[in-house]
Structure 1
Amino acid sequence: MNMTTPTPFQNGQAVPQQVAFHRTELNVILSLYGRMVAAGEWRDYGISNLKDVAVFSVFRRTAEHPLYTIEKRPKLRNKQGLYSVVGMDGQILKRGHDLKTVLRVLERKLIRAVE
């Protein structure tokens, strides 16, 4: 008996999978998040797994727009880079292929917050 999960189909076409952060990526992001919470800069977060992008949103308060979003876009892997940090105004603050390098733009804000 075959116990594999069938691929979901819709109108005879395979349904695209969602983009999600891998456990190792989340460890890097949550490490930064924990340090920012300890510094009193961030208070809440949200994760969205969509068709083309995975988004980790950071909030100062729960009921407001995110301060920053950390995005993973696999389609940009061979172009500008898989990861990006986007500010509240929609401006891309940093983009690249390595998550730790991209998150350094937020690390600098942590150093200023602690001083």
Structure 2
Amino acid sequence: MSAIVTPFPVSRGVTPQIGFDRVELMRILDLYGRMVAAGFWRDYAIDLGREAAIFSAFRRATERPEYRIEKRPELRNRQGMWSLVSEAGAVLRRGHELNSVLAPVERKLLKLVEE
């Protein structure tokens, strides 16, 4: 018995939704989990749109996000499709690699150890 696959109809002229792939989302959620364990963050939101995919991390659910991690593929060939945006809306870091963009947040997890 052979399976027949019927393609889903796609409207022409409609741009597809931007999203995070599995590796990107695992990397972001790994950082989120460590920030929750350290007591910095308590909530998150994911916004998937036609121009960007945005992961927002909140200290409290009733506030503005402390950081937004944005993926904008149209900027891939210029300054990079990844950006880290602060609570005030200032772009803290842009780049082509997700790990380098997340570096300022990773530094918050480092603690000084006394000798």
What is aligned with 1:41? 40
Aligned partner letter, 2:100: T
| Structure 2: distance between partners of 1:90 and 1:30 | 22
What is aligned with 1:5? 8
What is aligned with 1:68? 67
The answer as to whether partners of 1:7 and 1:14 remain within 8 angstroms in 2 is no
Q: Indicate the RMSD between aligned Cα atoms, in angstroms.
A: 1.5
Runs of 4 or more, structure 1, over 6 Å off, are: none
Structure 1 unaligned blocks of 5 or more: none
| Structure 2: distance between partners of 1:39 and 1:95 | 25
What is aligned with 1:99? 98
| Structure 1: distance between partners of 2:96 and 2:84 | 12
| Structure 1: distance between partners of 2:74 and 2:36 | 31
| Structure 2: distance between partners of 1:104 and 1:39 | 16
Aligned partner letter, 1:3: T
What is aligned with 1:27? 26
Q: What's the offset of the Cα at 1:14? A: 2.4
Structure 2 unaligned blocks of 5 or more: none
More helix by share: 1
Aligned partner letter, 2:43: D
Aligned partner letter, 2:95: G
Aligned residues: 110
Q: What's the offset of the Cα at 1:2? A: 5.8
| Structure 2: distance between partners of 1:38 and 1:111 | 13
Aligned partner letter, 2:22: R
Q: What's the TM-score once normalised by structure 2's chain length?
A: 0.90
Q: What's the TM-score once normalised by structure 1's chain length?
A: 0.90
Aligned partner letter, 1:61: R
